[in-house]
Structure 1
């Protein structure tokens, strides 16, 4: 049976990549809106209600509008905006967040696709909080660098059209960011992290890090303890795209974590660096901000919802 899919916002960065990933599929029919009718509400409503699954690649307000246009009881939705990510009526679309989440996504009607920045933090901390190696009230600092494609068409144009684009541009230094509620909720933190995102002069990919003062924990874990907790956690998740790099206590002396190494894939790799004598550690994550951080995650969720192989159309 061929499933009808409508990508509302297919002309945007995330929408284009989703369409590219689905182009060779024979089990899907991707419905397209006439470019001249993109702002025609009645045509969008027709396509939204004709689809088995609608994937929304829109700003928050437009995503809410699209959901309101669905008048049937059958169209299922994957929303890539931040509009519904902490809504209890929506299922969070990070399949590796815990064992059983993939099954929840498979059964859900409404799925909120995770943000690119939150996934690195959640992947690093959720297992450690669950294992009680890191307390929920720990004062988390979160840092990372992402390709400029995460800023959408305007930022892409600014970088690709500039003679001398910024190599390293921190932003959101008001410490207010739309991803903070999502990070705290799904990492099971009792307080928002101190978040410092950076845009780099490369199109795609990201690397994030969570530094930890282990002497602040009730029982001080070693680097091996942290690595074992992460490895065991993701080994228990079926079809996981999250992998944990082997632990080498001496590896931190010289590290090249290329934020672009997983570009074009749906892989997220966690790295543990620790100094047990100093009781300090860093959990780093590397992944594609437009892959596992956006379009790849959406396709993974779509596969789960349609009951096909979770890795269909996704390079690992």
Structure 2
């Protein structure tokens, strides 16, 4: 199968290209060095490929889509542009077997955002099983590495001047303070919540990795489930999944801050879910690599499904 990565020099595109370059079951199409500024070569390769990864900003992804006229070229997009578009399939196979089947037959797949992936993996099963009401006032907090902000933010952290270093590099920073983060529409849609969660992300002084946390007050839930009930529901939902791992309750007793290190899934396609707290107040935490399961790993997982290959091919767990 021929694969073309459009935007291969961005953060996600580089990771996809690196992973696929180690495989011998796909042919990576590349623009020759002396033709990098020739738009016709790019268009030719897009329409020659069986799979095109679009690793571009939203508007550039929309424009790139208009250049693909081959009806047999299947597209995997990593931007926010198409995630809630009904003509695109959402690329999170662990949502359900139906979702996995839809990805397998899809011509257009939109890869979820990193925050959204962790949030949906933590919350979707509880809404699906009726443990969490659709109208529950959900709040969510995320700690994430600065690579999630793309080239501009990476440069501020790694090449910033002294003033920026003092202001940015040495401290965590809350952002999207207007509570309007671009992942919110998909976070609501793919958990089937009646309202968007209150979501506050925080960028930290490490390159990649993230932990998303969602607090629940059990007295506000139907039948007042306890910690064990909530944990059992998540275990049941993900029991056959390779990349989503619900940590046993015994493994969470006496956890300290180092045990929930946001970087401990880095380099893998894993998402680890923790159920913490007590029977009155429960904290669900999901840890993943924002450059792995949160972007490039998820994109390759979708490609494997679309091509009928083993889902974890080229991905570490």
Structure 2 length as normaliser, TM-score?
Answer: 0.94
Counterpart in 1 of 2:265?
A: 262
Deviations 1:57-113 (A, max 9, x none): 000111111111111210000000011000111111001011232222111110000
SS in 1 for 2:121: helix
Residue 190 and residue 51 in structure 1: after superposition, are their counterparts in 2 closer, same or farther (change >3 A)? same
TM superposition shift of 1:37: 4.7
CA distance in 1, matches of 2:29, 2:251: 51
Aligned ranges 1:108-119 → 2 under 5 Å: 108-119=106-117
Counterpart in 1 of 2:281?
A: 280
Counterpart in 2 of 1:309?
A: 310
CA distance in 2, matches of 1:147, 1:156: 10
Counterpart in 2 of 1:222?
A: 226
CA distance in 2, matches of 1:192, 1:44: 39
Note the residue ranges of structure 2 that are not aligned, 5 or more in a row.
none
CA contact (8 A) 2:5 2:52 kept: yes
TM superposition shift of 1:145: 0.6
Size of the aligned set, in residue pairs, is 310
Aligned ranges 1:240-251 → 2 under 5 Å: 240-248=242-250, 251=253
CA contact (8 A) 1:108 1:305 kept: yes
CA distance in 2, matches of 1:113, 1:124: 17
Counterpart pick for 2:39 among 17, 38, 41: 41
Counterpart pick for 2:2 among 4, 11, 22: 4
CA distance in 2, matches of 1:84, 1:172: 21
Residue 31 and residue 253 in structure 1: after superposition, are their counterparts in 2 closer, same or farther (change >3 A)? closer
Aligned ranges 1:1-316 → 2 under 5 Å: 3-34=1-32, 37-38=35-36, 40-162=38-160, 163-164=165-166, 165-237=169-241, 240-248=242-250, 251=253, 254-255=256-257, 256-276=259-279, 279-316=280-317
CA contact (8 A) 1:54 1:78 kept: yes
CA distance in 2, matches of 1:250, 1:33: 49
CA contact (8 A) 2:209 2:266 kept: yes
CA distance in 1, matches of 2:192, 2:171: 33
Deviations 1:138-191 (A, max 9, x none): 111110111000011111111112444133111000111111100000011110
Residue 181 and residue 243 in structure 1: after superposition, are their counterparts in 2 closer, same or farther (change >3 A)? same
CA contact (8 A) 2:252 2:274 kept: no
Which deviates more, 31-40 or 14-23?
A: 31-40
Structure 1 length as normaliser, TM-score?
Answer: 0.94
TM superposition shift of 1:249: 9.2
CA distance in 1, matches of 2:176, 2:37: 31
CA distance in 2, matches of 1:37, 1:155: 29
Measured on the aligned residues, the alpha-carbon RMSD in Å equals 1.5
